[in-house]
């Protein structure tokens, strides 16, 4: 089911700035056991994005009402929110227009249990993320870098691709954030220049700190990853997957050798 501005609809004006310029934001939320996961963090990121892009703030009550409609009678699903500046004329300059809100519901994908239990392989993408601090952290609609990166491989042995920025720092996966563990400390790339500040990334940092784990957000290189004791990726749909291989570099994902990853998997479920 799809709602556009609260009404069942599947067509959008070709003049909508979300289509014309990617002028908008989106959120991808897991519904499990009939409950939205981490709604407050998704809402916080959406409102931060609106402030950064000078978009009028949406009404939370309307968004939640739309979500309730598209998920009525559904126990598990992927809920996607698209929020654009709305229909406008030609040119990049925006005037006061009415934003468009789109709420969609999809089946929650079924990934192999081995992804969570045994770990996954990552492809090392050639595409590089450009620095743009004004957009860094946001889940905005301009995702062409991720599209290009994801289409670099079609080998099913790779579950995800790893992205670096134009200066060579590790940033994220094409659809996920990344963490490494070294000496029982958690490290994750700092995202002040590019990348998406994922909701599950934020939740993992919260859980780690609540459980007396030290978390460092810093510039990380591929060499840093090669020295890691553990590596895992995360997002709202997959939650946490251990990484057993990046390109040709292998990591063990035995439960006995990945205690931090396994602990966080238990805490986030």
Catalytic residues: 28, 139, 172
For residues 155 and 157, what is the distance between their CA atoms, to the nearest angstrom? 5
Partners of 247 in beta bridges: none
Which residues, 6 or more positions from 11, have their beta carbon under 8 angstroms from its beta carbon? 4
For residues 180 and 226, what is the distance between their CA atoms, to the nearest angstrom? 10
Helix (H, G, I), strand (E, B) or coil at 65: helix
Query: 168: closest CA among 216, 221, 131?
Result: 221
The DSSP symbol for 214 reads -
Residue 89 near residue 15 (C-beta atoms within 8 A): yes
Residue 163 near residue 127 (C-beta atoms within 8 A): yes
Q: 167 — phi, psi (to 5°)?
A: -95, 0
Residue 166 CA, chain-centre distance (Å), reads: 20
Partners of 106 in beta bridges: 78
Query: 178: closest CA among 255, 105, 233?
Result: 233
For residues 35 and 68, what is the distance between their CA atoms, to the nearest angstrom? 10
Cβ burial 120-148 (10 Å sphere, 16+ → b, else e): bbbbbbebbbeeeeebbbbbbbebebbee
């Amino acid at each position: 089911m799809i709602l556009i501005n609260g009404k069942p609809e599947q067509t959008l004006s070709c003049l909508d700035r979300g289509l014309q310029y990617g002028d908008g934001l989106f959120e991808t939320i897991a519904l499990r056991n009939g409950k939205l996961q981490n709604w407050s963090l998704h809402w916080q990121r959406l409102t931060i994005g609106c402030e950064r892009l000078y978009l009028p703030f949406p009404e939370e009550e309307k968004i939640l009402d739309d979500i309730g409609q598209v998920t009525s009678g559904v126990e598990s699903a992927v809920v996607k929110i698209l929020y654009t500046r709305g229909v406008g004329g030609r040119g990049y300059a925006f005037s006061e227009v009415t934003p468009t809100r789109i709420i969609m519901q999809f089946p929650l994908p079924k990934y192999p249990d081995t992804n969570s239990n045994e770990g996954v392989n990552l492809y090392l993408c050639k595409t590089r993320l450009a620095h743009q601090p004004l957009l860094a952290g946001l889940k905005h609609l301009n995702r062409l870098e991720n599209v290009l990166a994801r289409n670099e491989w079609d080998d099913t042995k790779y579950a995800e691709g790893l992205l670096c920025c134009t200066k060579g720092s590790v940033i994220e996966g094409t659809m996920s954030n990344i963490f490494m563990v070294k000496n029982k400390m958690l490290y994750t790339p700092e995202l002040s220049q590019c990348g998406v500040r994922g909701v599950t990334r934020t939740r993992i940092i919260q859980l780690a700190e609540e459980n007396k784990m030290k978390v460092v957000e810093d510039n990380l290189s591929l060499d840093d990853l090669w020295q890691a004791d553990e590596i895992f990726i995360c997002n709202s749909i997959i939650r946490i997957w251990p990484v057993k291989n990046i390109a040709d570099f292998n990591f063990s994902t035995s439960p006995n050798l990945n205690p931090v990853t396994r602990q966080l998997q238990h805490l986030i479920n």
